[in-house]
Amino acid sequence: MKKALKITGITLISIIVLLIAIPIIFQSQIKGMVKDYINDNLNAQVEFSDVSLSFLRSFPQALVSVSNLTITNFHPFKDETFLTAKDISFTMSVKELFKNADEDPIIINSITVNEGLITLKTDIHGNTNYSITKEDTTNTVTTQKSSFKFDIKDYKINNSALTYIDEASKMFVSVSELNHEGKGVFSADKSELDTKSEAHLSITMDSTNYLKNNLVKLDALIDLDLPNDIYTFKENKGFINQLPLEFHGYVKLLEEGQEIDITFENPGSSFKDFLAVIPETYSKNIETVETTGDFKVNGIIKGIYSDETIPTLDINIVSNNASFKYPDLPKRVENITINTSIKNTTGIIDDTYIDINALNFKIDQDIFKSSATLKNLTGNMLVNATLEGVLNLANITKVYPIEFDNNLTGILKANIKTAFDMDAIESNAYERIKNSGTMSVSNLNFSSETFANPIKISDAKLTFNTGNVSLNQFNATTGKSDLAATGTIQGLLGFLLSNKPLQGNFNLNSNLFAVNDFMTKDVPETDKNPTSKKESFKIPAFLDCSINAQANTVEYDNLKLKNVKGTLIIKDEQAILQDMTSSLFDGQLAVTGLVSTKTETPTFNMDIGIKSFDIAQSFLGFELFQNMAPIAKAISGKLNTELNLKGDLTNDFTPNLKSLSGNALAEILSSTVNPLNAEVLNILGSTLNFVDFKKLNLNDLKTKFEFNNGQVSVKPFHIKYQDIDIEVAGSHNFDKTMTYNAVFNVPAKYLGSEVNRLIGKIDEASINNLSIPITANITGTYLKPTVKTDLTSGVSKLTNQLIEIEKQKLMNQGKTEVKNLLGNLLGGNSNTSDKEPSETKTTPIDSTKTSPESTVQKEIKNVLGGLLGGKKKKKDTIN
């Protein structure tokens, strides 16, 4: 016994060793066969990371796995991915591994696909990306046998997805979260296939969404007649969401298409079956919903599906006198009538139409009715619809478990008829859009993340006309703001049914319009984190309209603009201001420009005209003005200016000062100066004791500014203090630092008695024509300025002037003596004729003597110190 156990153990160990070793031996052979099979059968680029072989995972069968498979198309879908799969596994008998693949193909018994993704595509020229198999050449002598043969007994597709795109018909089908399995014997002439399928299905045709991520299930038992290519549905039950459908019939494969003969219906007849079509996320536990009335779905699909034809269709959805009520809600929807059919009697796809004869319901005493016909579904769809009734919007949450951030209230009344084709909407052919009727909304209250406050519409009345909709009345409030509007809307259906912009021309009036009322809400405290930001208001991309606006008051930041008028054009996420005028700071404001929210950071570009602004008011209320001209704090009077500014806006739509660029031309009118209000003037006053800044004359002052990257550059400008000319230039930053030079050209008569006696020695008449420039270098900040005076150029200028005067005197004296000498030689007057030339005295310039320049400079420097920073001498004070 012991020996038998030992032999058994050795045998088991040997088998396990073989099960581990054989895959290693045969792995390269299997990998080669997979590559050969792919190359022999596919016209596509195929890549995979590895091919593995295992006996342990599927014993007693062998398991071959292809990992990370990717198939990429050739022309005309070059480099587009056709299929990817995490792995595809094949099982086969172990004995198949010992076959000579060149002589006998290996028989595959089952296939499993994990996390596959396949994209089937047909372009507008009819090319398909799935026609990648090589043509059958079995009738030629050189035909190479395939390395594999399929004798499938079962297969599985796990957690996979399929996408179908038909560019010509504008059809998009998406199957996601697909799990499918089937069992059967495909090698027999007649057999059964037992399948189970589950997936989420979305179908879109020509921008119309028919199914959106709806859960579908199908358990089907199918008879397989392989010689005749007939597949008959026997015991079959499918689900669309929770709506069960039973169907019968068959599909027969033809050379160019399929012959289809299928009938289906829902086995029950309760109206609850209709609610089951609604996705479970929205239907909210339909098991507890109380319903009355019936609901039936039945259909026949019969005919040939080919490139030219489709089967005829006769599908009907009917419900009469139905109702439903959710147990936790107070109201019931009743008198529900549904009568809809989908038909095609010719087999021509363009002849398919949907006829909604009735879709009616009642809530309390409000009755709502609608009907529509949709034709030419796959081409230029034709729509004819009628909408009539009254709906109390507050009842929506009382009959259906939908949640709003705020209660939705209001009364909607409609009586509308419309007829149009989709091409007319796409091409804005408004004359082909036939509308008639009216719609009104009263006491509507709703909120949105787009706005900071709920919007309350007290009255809105619209008239539907051919090609447009007239807005006859619109009165609304939000926050502090009120709005009243009339106008014309174009493209309403294009906006509602496709991605077309909403176009219109409006007249808008407001007593108070607060810009902050239209900003995005702050992030709630519970959602805030250190990196979260307040979102800025975005100009809606769907708007394309012109608004002639008039408002008594517009509040923007801390500004209050009065009597605002202008045109606002909203298009392409930009707001364009045209000829906007307003009263502000006891003056007039004119603005032309634009604001754009196309980029993550909103931007602006404005031309601003200012006339007769009160300087003191505008300095206190206008941050930009405070940074543009900080010294204006000390000025009282009026201001005219023209500004061109562009830059970024902050989240609350105020200019980001550090991003500004542009220029300005400013003019000051009727001004007075109070140096106590500006520290820089105080410092200058204590440094330059010959200037009383209270007496500065700024009237008619004009200066030019330039803005760039947070810096204001001021071009040189001149102001007068009595008969002293002052030239100012420099720059300052919005961080309140500055660098300025002020050059005071001081007449000589104000330089004190000692300097004037010096000038008088040379030429008393020149005193009134001489001046000295004194430069004040102003740095630091607005609150802590630093002033340094520079006399270098002033001393040099005055010295040169005095020396030049002395030279002129000497030259003039020399000229007189030469003239007298020449007169004597030529027989001049008798008063000088008897004098000897030697008696005439001249004063030649002796270059060896001390330089007059150095002497004069020294004297000037000695007497100028008292002008700067010293106590004023009474006799030298400038009045």
Which of 539, 667, 660, 663 has the alpha carbon at shortest distance from 607? 663
Largest CA distance in the chain: 174
Do 371 and 441 lie in one domain? The reply is no
Q: Quick one: pLDDT band at residue 18, thresholds 50, 70, 90?
A: very low
Res. 147: pLDDT tops 70: no
Of the ranges 34-38, 73-77, 283-287, 475-479, the best mean pLDDT one: 475-479
Q: What is the Cα–Cα distance from 290 to 293, expressed in whole angstroms?
A: 11
- Percent of the chain having pLDDT more than 90? 23
Q: Please, are residues 762 and 806 in contact by the beta-carbon 8 Å criterion?
A: yes
**Mutual angle of helices 792-825 and 852-864, in 10-degree steps:** 140
Query: Which residues on adjacent β-strands are paired with residue 253?
Result: 258
Res. 170: pLDDT tops 70: yes
DSSP 14: H
- Mean pLDDT for 308-326 is 92
- Mean pLDDT for 829-858 is 44
Task: Quickly list DSSP for 659-722.
Answer: G-EEEEEEEEEEEEE-GGG-HHHHHHHHHBTT--GGG-B-TTEEEEEEEETTEEEEEEEEEEET
Which of 667, 562, 561, 559 has the alpha carbon at shortest distance from 612? 667
What are the structure tokens assigned to 847, written together? Answer: 């270059």
Do 254 and 387 lie in one domain? The reply is yes
Query: In one letter, which amino acid is 640?
Result: N
Do 358 and 237 lie in one domain? The reply is yes
Res. 386: pLDDT tops 50: yes
Which of 720, 804, 790, 796 has the alpha carbon at shortest distance from 762? 804
Res. 841: pLDDT tops 50: no
What are the structure tokens assigned to 380, written together? Answer: 């230029």
Do 476 and 490 lie in one domain? The reply is yes
Q: What is the pLDDT of residue 330?
A: 92
- Confirm whether 715 is domain-assigned: no
Do 336 and 397 lie in one domain? The reply is yes
Q: What is the pLDDT of residue 63?
A: 77
Which of the pair, 87 or 191, is modelled with greater confidence? Answer: 87
Half-sphere exposure of 277 (CA within 13 A, CB side): 12
Which pairs from 186-190 meet CB under 8 Å and 24+ separation? 186/150, 186/151, 186/152, 186/153, 186/224, 186/226, 187/151, 188/226, 189/225, 189/226, 189/227, 190/223, 190/224, 190/225, 190/226
Question: pLDDT per residue over 501-544, tens digit each?
Answer: 888 999 999 999 988 787 654 444 444 444 444 555 678 888 89
Q: What is the Cα–Cα distance from 346 to 620, expressed in whole angstroms?
A: 79
- Confirm whether 164 is domain-assigned: yes
Res. 345: pLDDT tops 70: yes
Q: What is the pLDDT of residue 103?
A: 58
What are the structure tokens assigned to 666, written together? Answer: 């400013």
pTM of the model: 0.64
Q: Burial, 75: exposed, middle or buried (Cβ in 10 Å; 0-12, 13-18, 19+)?
A: exposed
Question: pLDDT per residue over 627-650, tens digit each?
Answer: 777 777 767 778 888 989 899 988
Q: Please identify, among 355, 378, 403, the residue that sits at the C-terminal boundary of a domain.
A: 403
Do 370 and 481 lie in one domain? The reply is no
- Confirm whether 78 is domain-assigned: yes
Q: Please identify, among 579, 613, 629, the residue that sits at the C-terminal boundary of a domain.
A: 579
Which pairs from 589-598 meet CB under 8 Å and 24+ separation? 589/561, 591/566, 595/539, 595/649, 595/653, 596/539, 597/536, 597/537, 597/538, 597/539, 597/573, 598/572, 598/573, 598/574
- Mean pLDDT for 719-726 is 83
The residue with tokens 């073989």 is: 18
Residues sharing a CB contact under 8 Å with residue 594, sequence separation 6 or more, in sequence order: 574, 575, 576, 577, 604, 605, 606
Q: What is the pLDDT of residue 827?
A: 44
Q: Please, are residues 697 and 670 in contact by the beta-carbon 8 Å criterion?
A: no
Q: What is the pLDDT of residue 139?
A: 47
- Mean pLDDT for 19-48 is 62
Q: What is the pLDDT of residue 856?
A: 53
Q: What is the pLDDT of residue 719?
A: 83
- Confirm whether 352 is domain-assigned: yes
What's the count of helices (H) and strands (E) in the chain, helices before strands? 13, 38
Task: Quickly list DSSP for 501-564.
Answer: -EEEEEEEEEEEEEGGGGSPPPPPGGG--TT--PPPP---TTEEEEEEEEEEEEEETTEEEEEE
Q: Quick one: pLDDT band at residue 360, thresholds 50, 70, 90?
A: very high
Which of 506, 581, 575, 594 has the alpha carbon at shortest distance from 547? 506
Do 383 and 415 lie in one domain? The reply is no
Q: Quick one: pLDDT band at residue 576, thresholds 50, 70, 90?
A: very high
Which of 132-136, 344-348, 567-571 is predicted with the least confidence, judged by mean pLDDT? 132-136
How far from each other are the two terminal CA atoms of the chain, in whole angstroms? Answer: 136
What are the structure tokens assigned to 192, written together? Answer: 């059964």
Do 454 and 425 lie in one domain? The reply is yes
Q: Quick one: pLDDT band at residue 204, thresholds 50, 70, 90?
A: confident
Q: What is the Cα–Cα distance from 716 to 728, expressed in whole angstroms?
A: 5
- Confirm whether 601 is domain-assigned: no
Q: What is the pLDDT of residue 591?
A: 92
Q: Quick one: pLDDT band at residue 129, thresholds 50, 70, 90?
A: confident
- Confirm whether 693 is domain-assigned: no
- Confirm whether 488 is domain-assigned: yes
Q: Please, are residues 691 and 721 in contact by the beta-carbon 8 Å criterion?
A: yes
Q: Please identify, among 403, 435, 463, the residue that sits at the C-terminal boundary of a domain.
A: 403
Q: Quick one: pLDDT band at residue 11, thresholds 50, 70, 90?
A: very low
Peptide bond connecting 60 to the previous residue in cis, omega within 30 degrees of 0: yes
Do 285 and 327 lie in one domain? The reply is yes
Q: What is the pLDDT of residue 475?
A: 95
- Mean pLDDT for 285-294 is 84
- Confirm whether 460 is domain-assigned: yes
Q: Please, are residues 243 and 277 in contact by the beta-carbon 8 Å criterion?
A: yes
Res. 553: pLDDT tops 50: yes
Do 95 and 2 lie in one domain? The reply is yes
Q: Quick one: pLDDT band at residue 879, thresholds 50, 70, 90?
A: very low
Q: What is the Cα–Cα distance from 201 to 164, expressed in whole angstroms?
A: 11
Do 123 and 217 lie in one domain? The reply is no
Q: What is the Cα–Cα distance from 746 to 793, expressed in whole angstroms?
A: 12
Question: pLDDT per residue over 585-612, tens digit each?
Answer: 888 999 999 999 888 889 999 999 989 8
Residues of the domain holding 66: 1-132+147-168
Question: pLDDT per residue over 225-273, tens digit each?
Answer: 878 888 898 878 888 777 888 889 999 988 888 899 999 998 877 888 7
Res. 878: pLDDT tops 60: no
Res. 299: pLDDT tops 90: yes
Domain count within the chain: 3
3-state SS of 153-211?
EEEEEEEEEEEEEECCCCEEEEEEEEEEEEEECCCCCEEEEEEEEEEEEEEEECCEEEE
Q: What is the Cα–Cα distance from 647 to 644, expressed in whole angstroms?
A: 11
Do 388 and 411 lie in one domain? The reply is no
What are the structure tokens assigned to 202, written together? Answer: 């979305």
Q: How long, in residues, is the chain?
A: 879
Which pairs from 315-321 meet CB under 8 Å and 24+ separation? 315/341, 315/342, 315/343, 316/340, 316/341, 317/341, 318/294, 319/271, 319/274, 319/293, 319/294, 319/295, 320/293, 320/294, 321/292, 321/293
Which of 148-162, 539-553, 632-646, 842-856 is predicted with the least confidence, judged by mean pLDDT? 842-856
Q: What is the pLDDT of residue 45?
A: 82
Res. 417: pLDDT tops 80: yes
Q: Burial, 293: exposed, middle or buried (Cβ in 10 Å; 0-12, 13-18, 19+)?
A: buried
User: How many C-beta neighbours within 10 Å does residue 198 have?
Assistant: 15
